[in-house]
Amino acid sequence: MLSRGAAGWRALRWAGRRPRARGLHASPRAWSAMPSWVIDRYGSNEVLRFTRDMVFPIIHFPNEVIIRVHAASLNPIDLSMRSGYGATALNMKRDPLKLKTEETEFPLTLGRDVSGVVMECGLSVSYFKPGDEVWAAIPLWKQGTLSEFVVASGNEVSFKPKCLSHIEAAALPYVGLTAWSALNQVGGLNKSNCSGKRVLILGASGGVGTFAVQLVKAWGAHVTAVCSHDASTLVKKLGADDVIDYKSGNLEEQLKTLPLFDFILDNVGGSTEKWALDLLKKWSGATYVTLVTPFLINMDKLGVADGMLQTGVTVGSKTLKHLLKGVHYRWAFFMPSGPSLDEIAELVDSGKKSSLKWTDHPFRRVGVWKKDRRELLEELYYNFL
């Protein structure tokens, strides 16, 4: 049987009648098509189209599961992907060997977050069973969650926190895993080494920032958060020890008056990178991690080979430059991970989160698949901007 961390199994060949889902009774049409929000080309909101005839997802690999979507949410990455951001790299990931006869990713379903119920499991999935309530963040190169059903690898899925509804749970996976990737997998922070460390979070009132504040605070860090005055109450309520309003004066000068930091998470990028690393403690293992990188943009502009080369040169030169100054410089990205979601779910269920509902946050928009799904998602999508 497939263990939780296994991957890379050969594809199943589906022939003849599609197998019935265990414990599920559906009409023939429900097996062949489903409602979904799709795009047929890249562009502005006008390219968004609702259809009831999106191809029903099937299990291609034995470690995959099909999830019935109870709630899904939108993130800024969905708006960027709608406009074509990252298309070159994501298309290469979708078909690395160019085996597909159709040279298009369309119709493309957006949406990364999902909370729902397992409908069907691949032959090698032993960790889940039909009927389990789960949540997940779907990788960027896969069909998204703004559909009635979505397929995911079992290694990308986790049991939903028991204390959250589907609507609340759907607001967490993508931002949670992005923050977890930056802080834990790239930055090396965890509950055993974070106590007493001084952590600076630039852009603390966004989706990733609000999650990061709560996470490092739960791990015992002293948190300094940078946001606008309008969001200061929110960020303070989430656990930040110090809140700096970047509009109240020169941000660099304000931060220089504070003791140096052990770790900086940058959700802003741009000019902040030029001076933020000077706020770190030198020769102490202090680390700067940024989530604003040119990786996908380079590949969109220069192509796969030249884009990867340019990216490698950029990150390599910056890493060496700052290492010689006594600090670590790193890039981080969203990484789908069921095991990481397991740890996040434990924190949520144990009460290591703010009493503020995640769905109250202005940067999170959550939709539920019901009879009025078209009107609801259309309203959410157009009001998201």
Amino acid (one-letter) located at 205: S
Give me the pLDDT at residue 230, please: 95
The yes-or-no verdict on residue 210 having pLDDT over 60 is yes
Give me the pLDDT at residue 221, please: 98
- pLDDT band, very low/low/confident/very high, at 72 (cuts 50, 70, 90): very high
Second CATH level (architecture) for the domain 175-331: 3-Layer(aba) Sandwich (3.40)
**Of the candidates 371, 296, 359, 370, which has an alpha carbon nearest to the alpha carbon of residue 74?**
359
> In the structure encoding, which two tokens stand for residue 281, read together?
């403690």
**β-strand 113-121 against 33-39: which pairing, if any?**
unpaired
Model pTM?
A: 0.86
Question: What confidence tens digit (pLDDT) does each residue in 163-174 have?
Answer: 999 999 999 999
- Taking the C-alpha atoms of residue 314 and residue 312, their distance in angstroms, rounded to an integer, is 5
Name the phi and psi angles at 85, rounded to 5.
-60, 130
- Taking the C-alpha atoms of residue 179 and residue 155, their distance in angstroms, rounded to an integer, is 18
Name the phi and psi angles at 136, rounded to 5.
-165, 165
> In the structure encoding, which two tokens stand for residue 185, read together?
């997998």
Question: What confidence tens digit (pLDDT) does each residue in 223-281 have?
Answer: 999 999 999 999 999 999 999 999 999 999 999 999 999 999 999 999 999 999 999 99
**Of the candidates 168, 268, 254, which has an alpha carbon nearest to the alpha carbon of residue 212?**
268
> Which is more confident, 165 or 360?
165
**Placement of tokens 């197998």 in the chain:** 19
Q: Please, which residues bridge with residue 55 across strands?
A: 33
> In this structure, what is the dihedral angle of CA atoms 257, 260, 261, 267, given to the nearest 10 degrees?
40
- In the 8-state DSSP scheme, what is residue 384? -
Average pLDDT over residues 188-201: 97
- Taking the C-alpha atoms of residue 61 and residue 246, their distance in angstroms, rounded to an integer, is 48
**Placement of tokens 């502005």 in the chain:** 44
**β-strand 287-290 against 133-137: which pairing, if any?**
unpaired
Give me the pLDDT at residue 11, please: 29
What is the pLDDT of the chain when averaged over all its residues? 87
In this structure, which topology does domain 9-172+363-384 adopt according to CATH? Quinone Oxidoreductase; Chain A, domain 1 (3.90.180)
Sequence ranges of the chain with CATH classification 3.40.50.720: 175-331
Sequence ranges of the chain with CATH classification 3.90.180.10: 9-172+363-384
**Placement of tokens 């890039």 in the chain:** 331
- pLDDT band, very low/low/confident/very high, at 97 (cuts 50, 70, 90): confident
